[in-house]
A = this chain, B = another copy of it.
C-alpha cells in the first residue's frame, strides 16, 4: 500500500471544518470524493490538524494509502481537477515511508492569526481576519505573548470541549507584528489544545487594548481555569501555515 503525503491549501469559510460531518460540507469530504473519482476507491485521508469551521490552511498536511503506486504529479493534477469548484487545492504530493503519519509524526505545527485593526470593517478580508475596530498596541501584545512561551498547563487556553488527555503543552513561538493596519500573530508548538491559538489571541487583544497587563495575562495562565483567560477570537482569522516532520 504506497503511502503519499499531501500538502493542502483551503478557504475554510466554505466548510464546516476539516472533518467529515453528516449533512455539512467538509474539506475531508471534498478531497476524498475527488480522490475516489480519480482512483475509483473510497480512501481515507488522515490530516495533521483537524481545523474547525471557518479556519483556513495555507499548508495542511494529510496522508493516504493508495492500492497501487501512482506518479505524484498525476495524483496532484487529478485531485485538483476533480475537487473544483471547491476552494481546496493540493500544493504537493510526495511518496512517504509506510510509517509516516500526518498527525502522529508531526514535530511542529505553525499557525498564523490575522487581525484587521481599523475602524472600517474589512471587505476583501471578510471571513479571513478578525476585525478589531479599537486601537491595539502590538508591542504590548508582544510583551504579553512572551509570558505564554514554554512548557505549561494551558487549561486556561483550552476549549471546554477539548478532548486532549493532558493540558500540558510547550509553546515554542508566539510573536505579534504590526503591518500597517494588520496585526499578525504567529504561533508554533509540537501540538496545540483545542482553540488554544484563538484563546491566546483573544487574551492578547485584551492586553493590546490596554485592559490587561502582561502580568495579568501570566496570571490567567497560572490560574489553570478557562474563565480566567480572554474570549476565543473568531475562526476566520486563523490559518494553519505549516507542519514539520
Contact = CB atoms under 8 A, between A and B. Distances in A.
A10 interface: yes
A58 interface: yes
A32 interface: no
Interface residues of A, number: 23
Contacts of A80: 120-121
A88 interface: yes
B90 A120 contact: yes
Task: Name, among A56, A90, A92, A119, the residue most crowded by chain B CB atoms within 10 Å (CB to CB).
Answer: A119
B123 A11 contact: yes
B9 A120 contact: yes
B87 A126 contact: yes
A155 interface: no
B123 A87 contact: yes
Given A10-B123, A80-B120, A92-B120, 13 more contacts: A9-B120, A9-B123, A9-B124, A10-B124, A56-B124, A58-B124, A76-B119, A76-B120, A80-B121, A87-B124, A90-B120, A91-B120, A124-B128
8 contacts: A9-B122, A10-B124, A56-B124, A84-B121, A88-B123, A89-B120, A91-B120, A92-B120
